[in-house]
Amino acid sequence: MDEVQQEFLEIVAQVKTHLEFRRALGVSFVETTAAGSRQAAVQPAAPTMEKIPLSQSIGLAAVREELGDCIRCKLHKGRKNIVFGEGDPNAALVFVGEGPGQEEDLQGRPFVGAAGQLLTDIIVKGMQLKREDVYICNIVKCRPPGNRNPDPDEVEACEPFLIKQLRAINPQIIIGLGNVAVKTLLKTKEGITSLRGNWKTYQGIPLIPTFHPAYLLRTPSDKKLVWDDIKKVIAEMKKLRDENEP
Ligand code: SF4
C-alpha cells in the first residue's frame, strides 16, 4: 500500500469515528457546507480574546507545589488523593469540572470514571484531539463526600489555585462543565440550562458553558445540545488557528 492509499484510509477511519460519535450523541444528520455557513452567520461572535497578563502567572508546577499536601478546607479529611489536573501545560483548550468523584479520588486523575470516558469521547472522537492535548481540571481538588456539591467555603479555599492554574496555562478557550463549575467561574446564580452554549468570558478568556458529562449519563437525550456547544468551540478554535497562521 502506498503513502496516498494509507493516508486515504486514515481519513476514512477518522470520518467513521467522528460519525459514530455523532450518532452516539443522537445527531442523525450531516450539515452541508451551505448549512454550515448559514449556521456560522447566525451564531453570535465569540468574545474578543484578552489574555491574562503573563506577568501575573507562575508555572503550573509551581502552583502544584504551592498547593502542597493541602488542608485548607475540610475536604482534605476524606480524600485519598489530591486531583490537581492533567494535560498539556500550554493547552489551547481547558475543561473545568466540579470536583473529583470516587474513581478520580482513587487514581488522583481528573475525569477517569464513566463521565470521564464520555468526556474523553468528546475530546477524541468529537473534537479529533488527543486527551493529552487539552488540560482537564476541577473547581475543587479533593472529592466531596458522596459526590455532593462542594460547599461555598470549600470552593472559596480551593478557587485561588484554579485561578493560578488557568493563569499558568493561559488557554485560548475554557469549557465550563456543569452548574457548579460555571456558577463558580462566572460568579452567577444563573443555571446551566440557560447559560449553556452562550459565549462568556473568564478573566478575559472566552468560556463556553455546557452540561457536565455526568449529567449526560443520566440524561442522554441532552447529548445533542452538548454537541452543538462543542461545534461552536471547534469553529472558534479553527478561527483562532486561521488568524494565527502567517
Ligand atoms: Fe485544599 Fe482544595 Fe483539597 Fe480543600 S479541596 S483541601 S482547598 S486542595
Does some domain include residue 223? yes
Does some domain include residue 9? no
Domain enclosing residue 84, as ranges: 48-243
Does some domain include residue 14? no
Print pLDDT tens along the chain (246 aa). Answer: 666 556 555 555 555 545 555 554 444 444 443 333 333 333 333 333 344 444 446 799 999 999 999 999 999 999 999 999 999 999 999 999 999 999 999 999 999 999 999 999 999 999 999 999 999 999 999 999 999 999 999 999 999 999 999 999 999 999 999 999 999 999 999 999 999 999 999 989 999 999 999 999 999 999 999 999 999 999 999 999 998 887
Q: Are 172 and 46 in contact (CB under 8 A)?
A: no
Does some domain include residue 39? no
**Nearest protein CA to atom 7 of ligand 1, as residue:** 158
Residues with CB under 6 A from ligand 1: 67, 70-73, 75-76, 82, 140-142, 154, 157-158
Does some domain include residue 41? no
**CA of 190 relative to ligand 1 center, distance in Å:** 25
Residue whose cell numbers read 470520518: 15
Does some domain include residue 97? yes
CATH number of the domain encompassing residue 218 = 3.40.470.10
Does some domain include residue 234? yes
Nearest-atom number in ligand 1 for the CA of 140 is 5
With CA atoms as reference, report the closest residue to 137 among 167, 110, 172.
110
Retrieve residue 134's grid coordinates. Answer: 487539552
Nearest-atom number in ligand 1 for the CA of 150 is 5
Count Cβ atoms below 10 Å from residue 13 Cβ, excluding itself.
Answer: 10
Does some domain include residue 7? no
The verdict on pTM exceeding 0.85 is no
Mutate to test the pocket of ligand 1, among 64, 67, 104, 159 (most ligand atoms within 8 A of CB): 67
Domain total in the chain: 1
